[in-house]
């Protein structure tokens, strides 16, 4: 049933839904309105210990509408795209708008910013994958992990999933646009055991085009290596030390930076980077740029969640904050112009580099660090965007003279993010391209490790 990943509703039908909703909003007396509709189709299989554990067919659709009566707004959404449900949804939004307050900053993004002509970003790469074939790939992936070493004696399974979806956005400026995209992923989680106990770790590959996925054997082997490396983990004594965040975690550290320069946090004065525009946040060598129009990238988008055209820009250059992450509402609250980030950032790339001018991969950065902690896992939510205070559970490897000494666990790493950002001494060339924020390993001069 998944053979060509055909979507149950085509683009014309979804555009018609958006137009119908906008039309209903106008009839209900709204002075402005916007609507977004989506339809997704997917398949995921999980194979554990060689046997299929779950086979899931996904099919989701939904429409959301926001209506404005002058400066008052109301929103509603439904998964039912039939006309009667659409009318009821618009009515529900209009009913809410009767009770919300006048807010001078409320409204659509400015008409002049609409992305009336937008490029095709090569986001749609359907995969004609039958369930039987998906099972084979997941099984091969898990088998590669299980066969890697006798100490790998259990598994949470390997999962292959493939999704295809169309999203359409339109508003009463007359803008309507949309795109279809795919996302395929393969992951594997295994358990290894020795006399010291059990450890679990995972690996995954994700891409819009299946040909960019790592092979099942590679994903399985990576998962096995990562799990085995954790066996025999010890604790550390409490100390200050240099910290090297692995690329998949560096994404999160940069994510905290993004959270602090978001319009919503800024106008609420709930950010440790208030009024930081034009100020040095990172060392001189750091450049962070946003490239929304990269062909085929996971975070690419021709326009944002308000129909505003997206464009390439530097968020940080020479370590200095060049711009915030704004939608039109927060921009008006701050007396600024939207940066086309309603819904978030689109392909935020951190350039590799270092205080000393060179670039290095993770092995090079381990040498540069000498003695310190390579963090490969972080757990918990100990990040305060208001103050920048950061304290999270960690696991990884203690490194001596640039070499792995032993795995560590049950420790925390802590600091204030303002200090952490200033103390970044290198960004690795080992970039993890699996997300919307892409970074190499981040070497931080020092943070506090709490342990025994």
Site membership for other proteins, residue 12 (CB under 8 A): no
Site membership for other proteins, residue 450 (CB under 8 A): yes
Site membership for other proteins, residue 212 (CB under 8 A): no
Site membership for other proteins, residue 61 (CB under 8 A): yes
Site membership for other proteins, residue 51 (CB under 8 A): yes
Options 73, 208, 222, 293; binder of other proteins; rule CB under 8 A: 73
Sheet (strand 320-321) strand order:
320-321, 313-317, 288-290, 348-350, 437-438
Pick between residue 171 and residue 347 the one whose CB is nearest to other proteins.
171
CB 121 within 8 A of CB 294: yes
Kindly indicate which of the ranges 16-24, 71-79, 307-315, 336-344 contains the residues binding other proteins, using the contact rule CB under 8 A.
71-79
Rounded CA Rg of the chain: 24
Site membership for other proteins, residue 326 (CB under 8 A): no
Pick between residue 58 and residue 291 the one whose CB is nearest to other proteins.
58
Pick between residue 354 and residue 436 the one whose CB is nearest to other proteins.
436
Residue 296 CB, nearest approach to other proteins (Å): 25
Site membership for other proteins, residue 100 (CB under 8 A): yes
State whether the Cα torsion 258-261-263-266 is positive or negative: positive
Pick between residue 285 and residue 329 the one whose CB is nearest to other proteins.
329
x-or-dash pattern for other proteins, window 148-167, by CB under 8 A?
A: ------x-x-----------
Site membership for other proteins, residue 89 (CB under 8 A): yes
Pick between residue 310 and residue 412 the one whose CB is nearest to other proteins.
412
Ranges within 165-204 binding other proteins (CB under 8 A): 191, 197-200
Ranges within 237-256 binding other proteins (CB under 8 A): 238-240
Residue whose pair of structure tokens reads 């390439």 in the numeric block: 312
Cα–Cα distances in angstroms (integers) from residue 327 to residues 67, 89, 171, 331, in the given order: 17, 24, 15, 6
Tokens of 93: 């939004």
Options 208, 230, 262, 346; binder of other proteins; rule CB under 8 A: 230
State whether the Cα torsion 125-188-216-361 is positive or negative: positive
Pick between residue 230 and residue 287 the one whose CB is nearest to other proteins.
230
Residue 407 CB, nearest approach to other proteins (Å): 11
Pick between residue 61 and residue 441 the one whose CB is nearest to other proteins.
61
Site membership for other proteins, residue 391 (CB under 8 A): yes
CA distance 10 to 157: 34
Site membership for other proteins, residue 279 (CB under 8 A): no
CB 315 within 8 A of CB 346: no
Pick between residue 428 and residue 435 the one whose CB is nearest to other proteins.
435
Length of the chain (residues): 452
Pick between residue 118 and residue 202 the one whose CB is nearest to other proteins.
202
Options 25, 129, 207, 233; binder of other proteins; rule CB under 8 A: 233
Kindly indicate which of the ranges 72-80, 212-220, 278-286, 338-346 contains the residues binding other proteins, using the contact rule CB under 8 A.
72-80
x-or-dash pattern for other proteins, window 337-376, by CB under 8 A?
A: ----------------------------------------
Which residues on neighbouring strands pair with residue 204, listed in sequence order?
A: 187
Pick between residue 29 and residue 119 the one whose CB is nearest to other proteins.
29
Ranges within 394-423 binding other proteins (CB under 8 A): 395, 409-416
Pick between residue 198 and residue 363 the one whose CB is nearest to other proteins.
198
Which residues on neighbouring strands pair with residue 442, listed in sequence order?
A: 245, 427
Number of residues that bind other proteins (CB under 8 A): 79
CA distance 347 to 326: 15
From the CB of residue 266, how many other CB atoms can be counted at a distance below 10 Å? Answer: 24
Options 106, 250, 316, 321; binder of other proteins; rule CB under 8 A: 106
Options 10, 57, 311, 405; binder of other proteins; rule CB under 8 A: 57
Backbone angles phi, psi at 309, to 5 degrees: -65, 140
Residue 402 CB, nearest approach to other proteins (Å): 24
Options 79, 117, 278, 357; binder of other proteins; rule CB under 8 A: 79
């Amino acid at each position: 049933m998944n053979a060509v990943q055909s979507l149950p509703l085509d683009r014309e039908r979804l555009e018609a839904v958006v137009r119908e909703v906008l039309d209903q909003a106008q009839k209900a007396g709204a002075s402005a309105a916007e609507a977004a509709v989506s339809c997704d189709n997917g398949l995921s299989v999980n194979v554990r210990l060689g046997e299929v554990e779950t086979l899931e067919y996904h099919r989701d659709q939904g429409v959301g509408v926001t209506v404005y009566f002058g400066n008052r707004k109301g929103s509603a959404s439904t998964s039912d795209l039939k006309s009667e449900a659409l009318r009821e949804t618009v009515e529900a939004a209009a009913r809410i708008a009767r009770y919300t307050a006048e807010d001078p900053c409320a409204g659509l993004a400015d008409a002049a910013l609409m992305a009336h002509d937008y490029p095709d970003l090569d986001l749609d790469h359907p995969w004609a994958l039958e369930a039987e074939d998906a099972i084979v790939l997941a099984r091969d992936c898990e088998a590669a992990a299980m066969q890697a070493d006798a100490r790998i004696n259990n598994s949470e399974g390997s999962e292959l999933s493939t999704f295809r979806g169309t999203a359409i956005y339109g508003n009463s400026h007359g803008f309507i646009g949309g795109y279809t995209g795919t996302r395929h992923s393969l992951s594997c989680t295994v358990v290894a055991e020795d006399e010291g106990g059990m450890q679990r770790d995972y690996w995954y590959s994700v891409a819009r085009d299946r040909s960019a996925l790592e092979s099942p054997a590679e994903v399985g082997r990576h998962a096995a290596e990562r799990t085995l490396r954790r066996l025999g983990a010890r604790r550390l004594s409490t100390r200050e030390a240099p910290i090297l965040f692995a690329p998949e975690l560096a994404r999160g550290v940069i994510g905290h930076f993004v959270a602090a320069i978001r319009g919503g946090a800024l106008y609420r004065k709930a950010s440790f980077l208030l009024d930081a525009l034009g100020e040095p946040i990172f060392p001189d060598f750091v450049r962070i740029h946003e490239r929304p129009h990269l062909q085929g990238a996971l975070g690419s988008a021709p326009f944002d969640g308000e129909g505003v055209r997206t464009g390439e820009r530097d968020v940080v250059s020479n370590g200095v904050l060049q711009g915030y992450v704004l939608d039109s509402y927060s921009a008006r609250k701050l007396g600024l112009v939207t940066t086309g980030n309603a819904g978030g950032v689109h392909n935020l790339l951190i350039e590799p580099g270092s205080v000393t001018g060179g670039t290095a991969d993770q092995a090079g950065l381990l040498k540069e660090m000498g003695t310190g902690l390579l963090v490969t896992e972080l757990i918990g939510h100990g990040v305060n965007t208001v103050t920048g205070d950061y304290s999270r559970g960690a696991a990884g490897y203690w490194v001596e003279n640039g070499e792995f000494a032993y795995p560590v666990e049950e420790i925390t790493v802590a600091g204030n993010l303002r200090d952490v950002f200033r103390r970044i001494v290198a960004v690795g060339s080992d970039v993890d391209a699996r997300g919307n924020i892409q970074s190499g390993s981040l070497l931080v001069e020092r943070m506090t490790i709490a342990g025994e």
